[in-house]
């Protein structure tokens, strides 16, 4: 596998690949949202402070809405994205890939109080690292996922003119993996290309950049570029 996906089979038999997001981009998105919320509280709080006791009451209401309603409203009304998630190209979806609804959004956000225990989101981080789909406890209970909001990309031809026939007969799934490498490897770093190529050293008979180039050549052969 080139990526970490959660595969969901729809009732129509179509396989959906949901690229789950790990704890690091999620933490960055949370930090962006926190900065936005604190900024709003500081600006509005300065104005409300001029209203005396009435302003203090309004500030407490605003505090509640900013820390609890903010993520729920954005996730339901803005395609599963808060401003922080949008900045990191993340979004919340149901476990079957459908848009997140009110009940799921409310559940996952209320359970942040559990994920925060005992401090610093420790419980949520442990759950996220232990779960194969990087879900915190709130996501597990609500049946939601945080995924990368990938845009469709045009297929890229293997950037190597060489054409190399595979040294062994390949199964259809193996052929698809080699073709996928040829089309998607240009989007990866050289280190990641070599890491993937080293996995199939028994097929290519080479490691490092040599293996990468041979895989490109095999992808060209499988695509009929003679």
The answer to whether residues 19 and 110 belong to one domain is yes
Q: What is the pLDDT of residues 65-88, one digit of tens each?
A: 998 999 999 999 999 999 999 999
- Is residue 77, in this structure, part of any structural domain at all? yes
Q: Is residue 167 part of a domain?
A: no
Based on the domain organization, do 34 and 141 belong to the same domain? yes
Query: Which pLDDT value is given to residue 10?
Result: 62
Rounded to 5 degrees, what are φ and ψ at 9?
-100, 120
Structural domain total, the chain: 2
pLDDT band at 138 (very low <50, low <70, confident <90, very high): very high
Torsion sign across C-alpha atoms 30, 187, 173, 194: negative
Q: Is the pLDDT of residue 216 over 90?
A: no
Which of 148, 181, 206 marks a domain boundary?
Answer: 148
Better-predicted residue by pLDDT, 87 or 193: 87
- 164 lies in some domain: no
Q: Pull the structure tokens for residue 110.
A: 């209320």
Per DSSP, the chain holds a count of helices (H) and strands (E) of 12, 4
Report which listed range, 48-57, 87-96, 151-160, 205-214, is most confident.
Answer: 87-96
35 and 129 in a common domain: yes
205 and 106, same domain (yes or no): no
Full-model pTM? 0.64
Q: Distance between CA 114 and CA 123 in Å, rounded?
A: 7
Domain limits for position 188: 172-221
């Amino acid at each position: 596998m080139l990526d970490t996906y959660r595969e969901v089979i729809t009732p129509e038999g179509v396989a959906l690949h949901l690229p789950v997001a790990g704890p690091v981009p999620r933490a960055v998105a949370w930090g962006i949202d926190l900065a936005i919320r604190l900024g709003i509280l500081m600006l509005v709080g300065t104005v409300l402070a001029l209203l005396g006791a009435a302003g203090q009451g309004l500030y407490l209401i605003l505090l509640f809405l900013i820390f609890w309603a903010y993520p729920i409203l954005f996730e339901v009304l803005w395609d599963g994205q808060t401003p922080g998630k949008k900045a990191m190209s993340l979004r919340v979806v149901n476990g079957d890939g459908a848009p997140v609804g009110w009940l799921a959004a409310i559940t996952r956000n209320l359970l942040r109080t559990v994920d925060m225990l005992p401090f610093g989101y420790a419980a949520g981080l442990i759950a996220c690292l232990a779960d194969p789909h990087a879900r915190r406890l709130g996501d597990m209970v609500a049946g939601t996922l945080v995924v990368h909001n990938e845009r469709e990309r045009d297929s890229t031809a293997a950037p190597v003119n060489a054409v190399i026939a595979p040294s062994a007969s390949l199964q259809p799934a193996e052929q698809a993996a080699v073709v996928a490498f040829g089309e998607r490897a240009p989007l990866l770093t050289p280190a990641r290309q070599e890491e993937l190529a080293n996995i199939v050293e028994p097929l290519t008979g080479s490691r490092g950049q040599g293996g990468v180039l041979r895989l490109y050549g095999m992808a060209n052969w499988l695509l009929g570029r003679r």
